[in-house]
Amino acid sequence: MSKKTIVLAAVVALAITGCAKEDTSTTTESGVPLIEAGSLTTCTHLPYAPFQSKDSSGKVVGFDVALIDLVAAKLGVTQEIVDTPFEGIKSGADLNSGKCDVAAAGMTITDERKKVLDFADPYFDATQALAVQTGKEVKTLEELAGKKLGTQGGTTGEDYVKKQVEEKKLDIEVVSYKDLAALQQALATNQIAGAVNDLPVWNEYIKANPGKVVVSAGFDTGEQYGFAVKKGNAELLKAVNEALATARSDGKYDEIYKQWIGEKPAA
Ligand code: ARG
């Protein structure tokens, strides 16, 4: 066999195995491409209550889940949720490789992420907050000098902390955890003196575990969450935006907000 033939054989073999997994991608009647017929596949990173987490039966529920369910209903399909590390979500890798159609992960819209993802209209406003063990309240990051401060890997909270530590030359050891559960566990078991994450997730944690930790400081980072699609997927982006706009006008958004977040702050 010549070298060329071998290369060709390899390419053919690859093509055959590539087809082995049945291609079930489809386009809805309204022209929205989906990676799997009948489903709107969502990438998220669990747990991130109240936006997405498993309930006692193992079902993934939350604010984001309820909103994306509206998009799925509009498309006449059902939402399927894939739990995957945040890094692949925010880098666009998961959407680009066809792991999912949409990313819904309490994800903040940032200029850097906008380069690799197409964000739908903002659906939630958030800030960062410092949580500490009850009774050990500190009001500023400065007071954590000589101590360990936990963050969640790849998040805007981590970026914020690292920037503060660098700019203010703070003597703080920043410890990065792979997900929210690991960060909260570390704080609850005194492995770190404080932890920074989005305010609503601390509020939710404190509701579920009263007395353990308190929010002792807030940082007004003025963040907005956005659902994201693969760059260039204008059809799905439009469907997401339309579903959000409908939910905002027909009261569904407020209902979901009340169910998962609580009373809406006065505008
Ligand atoms: N809002 C933060 C960010 O975008 C944290 C999001 C983490 N989300 C998650 N599902 N793990 O960086």
The tokens for 195 are: 């932890």
Q: What tens digit of pLDDT does each residue of 148-164 get?
A: 999 999 999 999 999 99
Instruction: Say if CB 215 and CB 203 are below 8 A apart.
Output: yes
For residues 157 and 202, give the distance between their C-alpha atoms in angstroms, rounded to a whole number. Answer: 12
- Residues 50-79 have a mean pLDDT of 98
Instruction: Say if CB 33 and CB 89 are below 8 A apart.
Output: no
The tokens for 155 are: 């998040």
Q: What is the pLDDT of residue 2?
A: 54
Q: What is the pLDDT of residue 266?
A: 63
- Positive or negative, the CA dihedral 82, 154, 203, 210 is positive
Which string of b and e fits 81-116 if b means at least 16 CB within 10 Å? beebbbebbbbbebbeeebbbbbbbbbbbbeebeee
Is the Cβ atom of 156 under 6 angstroms away from ligand 1? yes
For residues 104 and 23, give the distance between their C-alpha atoms in angstroms, rounded to a whole number. Answer: 24
Q: With cut-offs at 50, 70 and 90, classify the pLDDT of residue 62.
A: very high
Is the Cβ atom of 79 under 6 angstroms away from ligand 1? no
Q: Is the pLDDT of residue 41 over 90?
A: yes
Instruction: State which ligand 1 atom lies nearest to the alpha carbon of 223.
Output: 1
Is the Cβ atom of 42 under 6 angstroms away from ligand 1? no
Distance of CA 188 to the CA centre of its chain: 23
